[in-house]
């Protein structure tokens, strides 16, 4: 095939490089989670202000992801990856330098831009690896982008206890520099014959809409104290996103192929990711907060930041195991059915947390079940989307899915905070929520995962199993031609620019 570079695409270090880069950007973006308290004390700011070290990274990642996805669909994908990692390295340096709090936020925003690279790593794998290896690699990239938080949490918490917050951010600088070097040595150029144009106006409108959505999801006090302002901003966010959608449908060079997104398989997978992602992050939030609650509240285990980070180890380990197993299971079970099963597993984690959390071992089991469900869920989603997506649109299609996931995670975190805040009494003597607030939030999570499973089952009925399992990742497998067979062309009316 013209433009393919076999000698580079078959490099033995390509797969480890792609997984390493995806893991690093996910872990570094999540550095704000275990460091919030330390940032507040180090920079003498409130906890709400320190929370922005996490929020600003998620915001910049959500805004940058669709832009990077479109650039990754063009001929300059390698340059885009290197330039983005360079921005992340510069941002990491800003977090280490003795700058005021504003400088730290700028650095965290730059680090968050790296979240958009996950979809580009998938595009590289799909272009430069054989079908079977690309299937497993894409699934694993999706998984490590989720469990990255669990990998970075305990290590950065330990570094913070030993050397302070600058030491933890210094670790981020080290691994991002290694990721940049790895990309420079290992990531090949995109195949020839591709083009990608970024609409600046469309990118700005989408950025504004996403910023407002994620901002409102994370600002519980705004909804309780200034409801009118929050409603106005919510309406504005909806209007911006509607304007963006309309302009994308009319554009010849859209930032995201909205017509392809409307395909039942893609739409169903994105809906499942949104609802499921909300539920997954909700349980992650509930377990970590419960573990750190002091005994004086009548429940909890009073764990330190580092020990609480170790609670995430079962999440990461079993998530990785599930990611490795899913491609093999995928040859026996259709991807939408696998999504439904994964949602049921996560729902089981909610049930365990709601009914049994009297000792730390029960929390570890619930976290492990969550990790396995999240790992299999994250590994199955790309198979549903990429089954109806041309190779040239891999980065763009998956970048949109990751925006949906970011919004879902933010909503899940906000939902958890809302229920726990509602269960906290007023007055100076009530610092922690009532134990029943955790149970109520867990019941909401069970409902969310049930809805996710129903969505996946509905998708399975409209999306029958492929006769060729390899087509789950590569639509060319059925015919040997980039555009797929006639039935495939009819099944994705929005597909364009197939190489």
Tokens in use for 320?
């990785």
Domain extent listing, the chain: 7-197, 199-252, 258-499
Provide the mean pLDDT of the chain: 81
Which of 429, 359, 338 lies closest to 142, judged by CA?
A: 338
Q: What is the mean pLDDT of residues 456-465?
A: 70
| pLDDT score at 218 | 67
The residue with tokens 């590569």 is 474
Identify whether the C-beta of residue 65 lies closer than 8 Å to the C-beta of residue 406: yes
Alpha-carbon distance of 21 to 119, in angstroms, equals 11
| DSSP SS3 for 252 | coil
Q: What is the mean pLDDT of residues 215-237?
A: 83
Q: What are the two backbone dihedrals, phi and then psi, of residue 293, each rounded to the nearest 5 degrees?
A: -70, 130
What CATH number has the domain spanning 7-197? 1.20.1250.20
Q: Please, is 279 exposed, middle or buried when counting C-beta atoms within 10 Å of its C-beta (0-12, 13-18, 19+)? A: buried
| pLDDT score at 155 | 80
Q: Which residue has the higher pLDDT, 229 or 258?
A: 229
pLDDT higher than threshold 80 for residue 340 = yes
Q: What is the DSSP letter of 334?
A: -
Residues of the chain with pLDDT > 90, as a percent, come to 26
Residue range 415-447, pLDDT digits in tens: 787 788 778 776 555 668 888 999 999 999 999
Which of 223, 214, 283 lies closest to 56, judged by CA?
A: 214
| pLDDT score at 432 | 81
Q: Same topology for domains 7-197 and 258-499, yes or no?
A: yes
Q: Please, is 102 exposed, middle or buried when counting C-beta atoms within 10 Å of its C-beta (0-12, 13-18, 19+)? A: exposed
| pLDDT score at 92 | 95
Which of 200, 155, 153 lies closest to 312, judged by CA?
A: 153
Residue range 293-313, pLDDT digits in tens: 888 888 888 888 778 778 888
pLDDT higher than threshold 90 for residue 178 = yes
The residues, ordered by sequence, that sit 6+ positions from 404 with a Cβ below 8 Å of its Cβ are 270, 273, 274, 277
Half-sphere exposure of 433 (CA within 13 A, CB side): 19
Binning pLDDT at 50, 70 and 90, where does residue 8 land? very low
Least confident of 66-80, 167-181, 409-423: 409-423
Residues of the chain with pLDDT > 70, as a percent, come to 87
Tokens in use for 464?
């029958």
List, as own/partner pairs, every contact residues 312-315 make where C-beta atoms lie below 8 angstroms and the sequence separation is at least 24, other chains included: 312/149, 312/150, 312/153, 312/154, 312/288, 312/367, 313/150, 313/154, 314/364, 314/365, 314/367, 314/368, 314/371, 315/147, 315/150, 315/284, 315/367, 315/368, 315/370, 315/371, 315/374
Instruction: Give how far Cα 297 sits from Cα of 29, 310, 359, Å.
Output: 31, 22, 15
pLDDT higher than threshold 90 for residue 106 = yes
| pLDDT score at 47 | 67
Number of H helices, E strands in the chain: 22, 0
Alpha-carbon distance of 403 to 96, in angstroms, equals 28
Tell me, rounded to whole angstroms, the distance of Cα 109 from its chain centroid: 16
Residue range 482-494, pLDDT digits in tens: 333 333 333 333 4
Q: What is the mean pLDDT of residues 7-28?
A: 80
Binning pLDDT at 50, 70 and 90, where does residue 185 land? very high
| pLDDT score at 467 | 39
| Phi-psi label, residue 333: left if phi above 0, alpha if psi -120 to 50, beta otherwise | beta
Residue range 356-379, pLDDT digits in tens: 998 999 999 999 999 999 889 888
Alpha-carbon distance of 56 to 309, in angstroms, equals 22
Residue 332's CB is within 10 A of a number of other CB atoms, namely 10
- CA dihedral over 32, 34, 35, 40, signed as positive or negative: positive
Binning pLDDT at 50, 70 and 90, where does residue 177 land? very high
Q: What is the mean pLDDT of residues 84-94?
A: 96
The residue with tokens 């989408």 is 206
List, as own/partner pairs, every contact residues 320-323 make where C-beta atoms lie below 8 angstroms and the sequence separation is at least 24, other chains included: 320/143, 320/144, 320/147, 320/375, 321/372, 321/375, 322/143, 322/371, 322/372, 322/373, 322/374, 322/375, 322/376, 322/379, 323/139, 323/140, 323/142, 323/143, 323/144, 323/147, 323/375, 323/376, 323/378, 323/379
Q: What is the mean pLDDT of residues 41-50?
A: 80
Identify whether the C-beta of residue 192 lies closer than 8 Å to the C-beta of residue 223: no
Q: What is the mean pLDDT of residues 220-243?
A: 87
258-499 CATH choice from 3.20.20.70, 1.20.1250.20, 3.40.50.620, 1.50.40.10? 1.20.1250.20
| pLDDT score at 481 | 37
Q: Which residue has the higher pLDDT, 62 or 97?
A: 97
| pLDDT score at 362 | 93
């Amino acid at each position: 095939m013209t433009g393919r570079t076999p000698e580079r695409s078959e490099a033995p270090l390509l797969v480890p490089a792609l997984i390493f880069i995806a893991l690093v950007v996910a872990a570094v973006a999540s550095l704000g989670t275990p460091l919030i308290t330390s940032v507040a004390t180090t920079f003498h700011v409130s906890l709400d202000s320190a929370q922005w070290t996490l929020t600003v990274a998620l915001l910049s990642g959500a805004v940058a992801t669709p832009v990077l996805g479109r650039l990754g669909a063009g001929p300059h994908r390698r340059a885009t990856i290197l330039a983005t990692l360079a921005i992340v390295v510069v941002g990491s340096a800003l977090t280490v330098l003795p700058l005021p709090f504003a400088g730290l936020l700028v650095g965290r925003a730059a680090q968050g831009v790296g979240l958009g690279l996950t979809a580009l790593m998938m595009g590289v794998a799909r272009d430069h690896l054989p079908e079977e290896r690309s299937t497993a690699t894409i699934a694993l990239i999706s998984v490590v982008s989720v469990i990255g938080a669990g990998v970075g949490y305990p290590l950065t918490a330990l570094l913070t206890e030993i050397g302070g917050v600058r030491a933890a951010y210094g670790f981020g600088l080290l691994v991002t520099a290694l990721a940049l070097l790895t990309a420079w040595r290992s990531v090949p150029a995109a195949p020839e014959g591709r083009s990608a144009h970024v609409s600046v106006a469309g990118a700005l409108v989408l950025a504004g809409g996403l910023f407002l959505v994620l901002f409102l999801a994370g600002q519980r006090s705004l909804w309780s104290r200034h409801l009118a302002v929050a409603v106005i901003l919510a309406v504005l966010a909806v209007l911006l996103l509607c304007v963006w959608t309309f302009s994308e449908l009319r554009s010849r060079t859209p930032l995201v192929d909205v017509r392809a997104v409307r395909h039942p398989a893609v739409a169903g997978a994105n809906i499942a990711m949104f609802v499921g992602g909300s539920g997954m992050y909700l349980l992650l939030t509930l377990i970590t907060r419960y573990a750190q609650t002091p005994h004086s509240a009548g429940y909890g285990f009073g764990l330190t930041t580092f020990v609480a980070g170790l609670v995430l180890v079962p999440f990461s380990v079993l998530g990785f195991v599930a990611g490795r197993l899913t491609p093999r299971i995928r040859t026996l079970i259709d991807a939408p059915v696998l999504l439904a099963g994964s949602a049921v597993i996560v729902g089981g984690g909610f049930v365990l947390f709601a009914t049994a959390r009297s000792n730390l071992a029960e929390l570890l089991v619930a976290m492990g079940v969550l990790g396995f469900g999240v790992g299999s869920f994250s590994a199955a989603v790309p198979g549903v989307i990429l089954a109806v997506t041309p190779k040239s649109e891999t980065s763009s299609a998956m970048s949109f899915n990751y925006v949906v996931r970011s919004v879902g995670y933010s909503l899940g975190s906000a939902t958890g905070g809302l229920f726990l805040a509602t269960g906290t009494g007023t007055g100076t003597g009530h610092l922690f929520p009532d134990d029943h607030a955790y149970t109520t939030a867990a019941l909401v999570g069970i409902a969310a995962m049930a809805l996710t499973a129903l969505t996946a089952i509905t998708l399975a009925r409209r999306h029958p199993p492929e006769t060729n399992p390899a087509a789950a990742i590569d639509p060319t497998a059925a015919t040997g031609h980039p555009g797929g067979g006639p039935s495939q062309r009819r099944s994705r009316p929005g597909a364009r620019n197939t190489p």
